[in-house]
């Protein structure tokens, strides 16, 4: 039974690497935010708007407990998921956790590539965005660093960079020689 759980800040490549990793290993892939949206027929942003962060985090925790019971999967978590309740302790018990660790500069570049998709980032200047990433990453680092494995991500603008990250994560997890 294989259960790989990817965590890290938004823009770290959890979904991109997760999908490629699952495909390479012949496993099913689940993105926790997508799973929540499917189960509740609402976008995460709508849940936040109607129930606030507390309401969302409770739903997220319940869905995490559901998804983390699945077998032979790769799961990517939302950036905040490890930072609430006992989520980090729980996921470490459930499988191989991998923190996709990026520098604020790399995360900033990744987020610029998909800025329109992230409501938290809209309307921010370059300086505001960099400061926001640095500050929130500092607060989340104590949770993220509890993962069983840490992989330092690089810029992943091209497919070969994603393939390289997948190979390195597989090596880190000692799944293949």
Across the range 65-83, mean pLDDT stands at: 97
Query: What domain count does the chain have?
Result: 1
Cα-to-chain-centroid distance, residue 48: 18
Tell me if 146 is assigned to some domain.
Answer: yes
Give me Rg for the CA atoms of the chain. 15
Domain that holds residue 63: 3-170
Tell me if 176 is assigned to some domain.
Answer: no
pLDDT at 127 over 60: yes
Exposed / middle / buried, residue 139 (Cβ in 10 Å: 0-12, 13-18, 19+): exposed
Tell me if 150 is assigned to some domain.
Answer: yes
Spatial distance between the Cα atoms of 15 and 103, rounded to a whole number of angstroms: 18
Find the CATH number of the domain harbouring 7: 3.40.50.300
Tell me if 175 is assigned to some domain.
Answer: no
Q: First-to-last CA distance in the chain?
A: 18
3-state secondary structure of 76: strand
Using 50, 70 and 90 to split pLDDT, how confident is the model at 46? very high
């Amino acid at each position: 039974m294989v259960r790989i759980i990817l965590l890290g800040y938004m823009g770290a490549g959890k979904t991109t690497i997760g999908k490629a990793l699952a495909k390479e290993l012949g496993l099913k892939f689940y993105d926790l935010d997508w799973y929540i949206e499917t189960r509740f027929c609402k976008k995460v942003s709508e849940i936040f708007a109607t129930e606030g962060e507390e309401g969302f985090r409770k739903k997220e925790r319940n869905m995490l407990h559901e998804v983390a019971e699945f077998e032979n999967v790769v799961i990517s978590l939302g950036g905040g998921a490890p930072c609430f309740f006992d989520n980090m302790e729980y996921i470490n018990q459930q499988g191989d956790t991998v923190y996709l660790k990026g520098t604020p500069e790399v995360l900033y570049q990744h987020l610029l590539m998909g800025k329109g998709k992230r409501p938290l980032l809209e309307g921010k200047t370059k300086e505001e965005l960099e400061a926001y990433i640095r500050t929130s990453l500092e607060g989340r680092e104590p949770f993220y660093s509890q993962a069983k494995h840490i992989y330092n991500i690089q810029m992943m603008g091209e497919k070969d960079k994603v393939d390289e990250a997948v190979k390195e994560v597989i090596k880190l997890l000692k799944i293949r020689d």
